[in-house]
Structure 1
Amino acid sequence: MSNKELPEKWQQSAKVIKAVQIAFDMDTKLQYSIRRSALDKGISPSEQIRHLLELPTHKKPKRPRLTVSLSSEDYQQLGERYQIPADQQLEIKKSVVEELTQFALKSEFNKSE
């Protein structure tokens, strides 16, 4: 099926599928500098790299979020930590968000002292 046969709303997704992600092996300090610059601008490191290379970037910002991959064993361990059954993943996620929020608030408080 060619792009012309795809529904119009799917054609943009087809372009994205053809993109190839590449990784750069760089000194940790250089990576940190690029990541920090992106963070200061409120954009992703990949958007910062595209900006530095003068490639087109997304005009509207994407929803900022942090991600982590959790295995069933991780949910088991977190469930024990928060005293929540491991199969209640949404409740565990809420507890994780609360813990991360407390960490961030504490970090900001310590910086301002």
Structure 2
Amino acid sequence: MEWGFPSYLSEARIAMETLFVSPFISSESWFQKWAEGRESMASLKDFGLKGRAMCKESLNEMKELVKESESPYGIRFEGDNENEMVLEWNGTPLVRVSAWM
């Protein structure tokens, strides 16, 4: 967020981060609950689906959108065959998207 706000709106940026980002980043119990839920969730592999690898062009496009080299945000692939794309903030996963067929 800090990269999208002008410097004279720093208080507005701090307020936005406090309201929307902080609860998801700083809550240790939330991370623990998320990890437990992810482990117990039935895998889509169990339903006969196969992960579909995401293309490198999508990865490069997302890295450009979040200005990865200039900001605390990052994008990476995960999964057995790179079928998951993860948006991170300072190394903390925020959003995970996967492709299956």
Same fold (TM over 0.5): no
- TM-score with structure 1 setting the length: 0.25
Bigger strand fraction: 2
Which of 1 and 2 has higher RCO (CA within 8 Å, sep 6+)? 2
Greater C-alpha Rg: 1
Give the alignment's TM-score, normalised by structure 2.
0.27
